[in-house]
Amino acid sequence: MAKVGDKIKIISMNGEPQYTGKVGVVDFIDDMGQIHGTWGGCAIIPDVDSFEIINENQEQKNA
């Protein structure tokens, strides 16, 4: 599960294809469990949308 400060990549967001592939940092998680961050105005809904947490080891491998 994502937490505040995690860097994530959106794999897919239901009904919002323009967010696919966006990367951002989690700013806060609301009372409903929706994840808000620096990728734009829509929140990620964990049980509906797909995302991955990017850690420093993954970034170094992909560089």
Token duo for residue 51: 């995302």
pLDDT in tens, 4-56: 999 999 999 999 999 999 999 999 999 999 999 999 889 999 999 999 999 75
Determine the pLDDT at residue 11.
97
Half-sphere exposure of 16 (CA within 13 A, CB side): 19
Position 53 scores a pLDDT of: 96
pLDDT band at 63 (very low <50, low <70, confident <90, very high): very low
**pLDDT at site 55:** 79
The answer to whether the beta carbons of residues 15 and 44 sit under 8 Å apart is: no
* pLDDT tops 80 at residue 60: no
pTM of the shown model: 0.84
